[in-house]
A and B are shown apart, each in its own frame.
Chain A
C-alpha cells in the first residue's frame, strides 16, 4: 500500500491525538522505523494492524476511528491539500458526489501507483444516492463516510449518510441530500496554491 496513505494516517494520529500514542504504536508493531515515508510503498497487511491497534489504544471501534480519519482529511487545516484536490471534483456537492466515480482515475493521473477505491455512484432520485466503494481494504468505506460528511460541511450542504440497505453490495453507503445550501460554503478558488 502507498506510503501516502500510511503517512496520512500517521499525521492523523499525531495531530488529532498525541505524537506519543503514535510512537507507542510503532514500538509495539516493531517495524524498525518510526514513521512512514509518503513516497515509499509498504506491506499491505500493516495498515490493518495499525488501525486495529490504534483503535484499541484509543478505546474506539476501528470503523469509527477510520471515519474520523476521513473527516480529518477534509476538515483539518494540515490536510488542506487533500480537501482542495477533492474539491476539484465538482462545483457543488451533487456535482462532487457524481465525480466520485472519477476519483480512482484522477488520482492515478497524478500518482500512478496510488491505489484509491473504485467508487460507483447511482442517482436513486429525490436527492438520494447509492455509493459503492470497492477496495482491497474493507476499511476504505468508513474513511469515505467521514470524508463525505466533512465535504458536505465544506460545500455547506446538509446530508444524511446511512449504511447500505438489504440487497446492496457490501461497502455501500446511502446518501440523502437534504439541503443544498444549508450552511456556509468554505469556498474553493481553482488557482489558489497551498504551500508545501
Chain B
C-alpha cells in the first residue's frame, strides 16, 4: 500500500512537536512550537535568525541551515543563548533547498532543571512525551531514597546506642570488661606503649556487710568518679568485677611517675565517703605493669602480671602500689618489693 505524502501545517506541528522550530533556507525561524516559545520568553521567535537564538554544542560548526542539514542521522546538540546556556538535543530533518529544515528539540537529561527554570507544566509536553513520567520517577525515587536514608540514620543511632550500652558498666558508667579488652587489643595492635593499673578496693566487703549494698554502690560510684577524673582522653577506666577496676594510661611507661599517680589515687580513695549521716572509709591496693616490659605485649598476660603485683600489695599490708618487674612471681610477692 502506498503511503501518501502528507502536509502538516503549524497547528499539527504545534500539537505533535511543541518544541519544534521550522527554519527557512536563509536561517530565519518561520514557526516555533508553543513550549519552545515559552522557553524563549519575552521575544517572539518567528522572524529571528535561528543562529542568534541557538548555538551548536560539541562542535565549532554554526547553526546555519546547511550545517543543521548535514548533521549525521539528523541529531544536533544545541544550546540556548540564554543566561543558563540551557542544553538541548534535537532531531533535524532537511525539507529541501526551497523549504528549509525542521528541528524538533528536547531538554534531554537536563529536563529536571529546565522544567523548574521555565515553569513548564504537563500540558507543555506532547501526549507521547515521557517527560512528566520521568519527573514523577525522579520525585518518587528521591522520596524513597530519603526514606531509606532516614531509616539508615535511625538504625545507625540505635546501633551506636546499643554498642555504647554494651560497653558500659551499668552502675558506674565506666567501661566494662568487654570495652577494656577491645581497647587493649587496639593499643597492642598499633604498637602503642601503655601502663595497666589494677585496683582492688580494700575493706569494701566490710562496707557492704555493715552498711548494706546501697552504701557499697555509693562507694563504687564515688571511686568511679575519682578514676574517671584521674584519666585523660585516650586512657581507659574500667570496672571489671565487684570492687575491681583497671586503668590504662596510654603513652606512659615510666614506673616512678605511675607509682606516684597510684599513690595519689589510693590517698584520694581513702578519703571518707559520706553515706546518710555517717561516713564510710575504704582503701585500695594497686598492681602496675608497663607494656615496655614485653617484646610482644599480650593483654591476658599483662592483666595476670598486674594481678601478681596487686597481690603483692595486698600481702604487703594493703593500701599501696606495686609495679610488676621481670623475675617477679607469686612466691616472691609475699616479701614485698
Listed in ascending order, the chain A residues whose CB lies under 8 Å from chain B are 4, 37-39, 81, 84-85, 88, 90-91, 106-107, 109-111, 188-194, 196
Give the docked Cα–Cα distance between A190 and B137 (Å): 12
27 contacts between A and B (CB under 8 A): A37-B154, A38-B147, A38-B151, A39-B147, A81-B139, A81-B143, A85-B140, A88-B133, A88-B135, A91-B121, A91-B122, A91-B123, A107-B140, A110-B137, A110-B140, A110-B143, A111-B140, A189-B116, A190-B116, A190-B120, A190-B121, A190-B135, A191-B115, A191-B116, A192-B116, A194-B143, A196-B146
A191 touches B135 (CB 8 A): yes
Q: Which residue of A lies closest to B117 (CB)?
A: A191
Q: How far is the CB of A88 from chain B (nearest CB, A)?
A: 4
Contact mask for chain B residues 293-332; partner A; CB cutoff 8 A; 1 contact, 0 none: 0000000000000000000000000000000000000000
B48 at the interface (CB under 8 A from A): no
Majority-rule SS of A interface residues: loop
* Chain B residue at minimum C-beta to C-beta distance from A192: B116
* B119 sits at the interface (CB 8 A): yes
**Bound: A37/B155 CA distance, A:** 11
B→A interface (CB under 8 Å): 112, 115-116, 119-123, 132-133, 135-137, 139-144, 146-148, 151, 154
- Contact between B132 and A189 (Cβ–Cβ < 8 Å)? no
Q: Give which listed residue, B120, B139, B151, contacts A84 with CB less than 8 A.
A: B139
Closest to A195 in B: B146
Say whether B143 contacts A88, CB under 8 Å. no
| Residues of chain B contacted by A85 (CB below 8 angstroms) | 136, 139-140, 143
Residues in A neighbouring B147, C-beta threshold 8 A: 4, 38-39
Say yes or no: B144 contacts A110, CB within 8 Å.
yes
CB-CB under 8 A from B135, the residues of chain A are 88, 190-191
Determine the chain B residues whose CB is within 8 A of the CB of A190 once the complex forms: 115-116, 120-122, 132, 135
Docked CA distance A109–B144 (Å): 11
Residue ID in chain B nearest A90 by CB atoms: B122
Distance in angstroms from A26 CB to nearest chain B CB is 17
- Shortest beta-carbon distance, A39 to chain B, in Å? 5
Chain A min CB distance to B63 (Å): 28
A192: chain B residues at CB < 8 Å are: 116
Contacts of B121 in A (CB 8 A): 91, 188-190
Whether A109 pairs with B151 at a CB distance below 8 angstroms is: no
Find A189's partner among B119, B136, B140 (CB 8 Å cutoff). Answer: B119
The 9 nearest A-B residue pairs measured at CB: A110-B140, A191-B116, A88-B136, A191-B115, A91-B122, A91-B123, A190-B115, A39-B151, A38-B147
